[in-house]
Amino acid sequence: MAQNYFAALRDVALAVNSSLEPSAVLHQITEHAAKAMSCKACTIRLLDGTGHFLLPTAAYGLSDSYMRKGPVEVGRSGLDGEVLGGKIIHLKDATSDGRFQYPESAKAEGLVSVLSAPLLVNGKTIGLIRVYSSEERDFTPDEETFMQAVAALSAMSIENARLHDALRNNYELMAKHAYSVYED
């Protein structure tokens, strides 16, 4: 089983290095994570600017109706609050655990157990990654470690894309300024 995780981590690292386009990279990450862990689905959600909502950023294996179930409010989801506090959290049955914000939607989607890990950049939580199992299961310590590694690579990918955009914008501003100075 550990060999599958090593191969999946290699694939995630290759995806992170393949592009600075976050949506494509994060979608590949969700697919690799779900498949490596034999899970039905995986999502990555990022905090909005207010820190009150988790926005769907990438998903694999979930229906459009599930993804449109409603806003994920940090204040209404005990699970997400714990994960954003820096903890990796396992729910054996999300449909009956009061910390899960949309248990009815999870049940309708066929989701039972979930494992969630925070996305950290420089010690600050920017979002989370979550895998969903279609059957009740206990996630192993190796699976938790794998999720933490995937979360770290995901956060690095997001931060690299943000830094690239900032650098490109600064370059464009400098180029415009230099061109206008040259014209004068």
Mean pLDDT of the chain: 87
CB of 138 closer than 8 Å to CB of 115:
no
pLDDT grade for 82, boundaries at 50, 70 and 90: very high
The pLDDT of residue 177 is above 60: no
CB of 74 closer than 8 Å to CB of 83:
no
Question: How far is the CA of 138 from the CAs of 33, 42, 142, 157, in angstroms?
Answer: 16, 16, 11, 29
CATH number at residue 116: 3.30.450.40
pTM over 0.75: yes
The string over 90-124, giving b where at least 16 C-beta atoms fall within 10 Å of a residue's C-beta and e elsewhere, is bbebbbebeebbbbebbeebebbbbbbbbbbeeee
Neighbour tally for 76: CB within 10 Å: 13
105-129: average pLDDT = 95
3-state secondary structure the chain: CHHHHHHHHHHHHHHHHHCCCHHHHHHHHHHHHHHHCCCCEEEEEEECCCCCEEEEEEEECCCHHHHCCCCEEHHHCHHHHHHHCCCCEEECCCCCCCCCCCHHHHHHHCCCCEEEEEEEECCEEEEEEEEECCCCCCCCHHHHHHHHHHHHHHHHHHHHHHHHHHHHHHHHHHHHHHHHHHHC
What pLDDT, on the 0 to 100 scale, is given for residue 133? 97
Strand partners, 59: 43
What pLDDT, on the 0 to 100 scale, is given for residue 183? 60
The token pair that represents 164 in the structure block: 């690239």
145-157: average pLDDT = 92
For 47-76, write each residue's pLDDT tens digit. Answer: 999 999 999 999 999 999 999 998 899 988
What pLDDT, on the 0 to 100 scale, is given for residue 157? 83
The token pair that represents 58 in the structure block: 């990438």
pLDDT grade for 37, boundaries at 50, 70 and 90: very high
pLDDT grade for 85, boundaries at 50, 70 and 90: very high
The pLDDT of residue 175 is above 60: yes
The pLDDT of residue 113 is above 90: yes
88-94: average pLDDT = 96
146-163: average pLDDT = 86
- Tell me which residue range forms the domain holding 8: 2-183
Please tell me the total count of domains within the chain: 1
